[in-house]
């Protein structure tokens, strides 16, 4: 069972140089949460699933408090923070994209972080 959060835009200090990290950049995230229990489909109860608002809060906390050199490390840090929210999660897939130049749509990285 998958829950998707699409095109979430977050502000994060990201880059390999101090100058690049001096100001927050917008990073776009596409997130898939792999749940191991389909109970919520039958119960219609928030307690039987992963509250996506808690996922958004965890992402906001990580991006507000952290500074990252690499997209890879940002994705890993977000994935582990999200996995810690619920034992109902088996894995989190995150695709992150940031703009790098007017000539390119952006640079991206994606990974599946498993429990």
* pLDDT recorded at residue 105: 84
> Domain 2-114 belongs to what architecture?
2-Layer Sandwich (3.30)
What mean pLDDT comes out for the span 67-95?
97
Domain ranges of the chain: 2-114
* pLDDT recorded at residue 115: 87
What's the pLDDT tens digit per position in 3-54? Answer: 999 999 999 999 999 999 999 999 999 999 999 999 999 999 999 999 999 9
What's the pLDDT tens digit per position in 86-114? Answer: 999 999 999 999 988 778 888 999 999 99
Residue matched to tokens 């950049």? 25
Q: What does the block give as tokens for 4? A: 């998707």
The DSSP secondary structure of 62-115, one letter per residue, reads HHHH-EES-HHHHHHHHHHHHHTT-TTEEEEEEEEEE--BTTBS-EEEEEEEE-
The answer to whether the beta carbons of residues 58 and 81 sit under 8 Å apart is: yes
pTM for this entry: 0.93
Look at strands 25-35 and 67-68 and give their pairing: unpaired
């Amino acid at each position: 069972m998958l829950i998707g959060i699409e095109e979430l835009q977050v502000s994060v200090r990201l880059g390999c140089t101090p100058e690049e990290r001096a100001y927050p950049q917008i990073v776009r995230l596409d997130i898939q949460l792999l749940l191991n229990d389909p109970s919520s489909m039958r119960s219609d109860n928030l307690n039987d699933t992963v509250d996506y608002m808690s996922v958004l809060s965890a992402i906001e906390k990580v991006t507000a408090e952290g500074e990252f050199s690499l997209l890879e490390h940002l994705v890993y840090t977000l994935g582990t923070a999200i996995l810690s929210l619920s034992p109902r999660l088996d894995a989190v897939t995150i695709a992150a994209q940031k703009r790098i130049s007017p000539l390119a749509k952006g640079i991206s990285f994606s990974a599946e972080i498993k429990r």
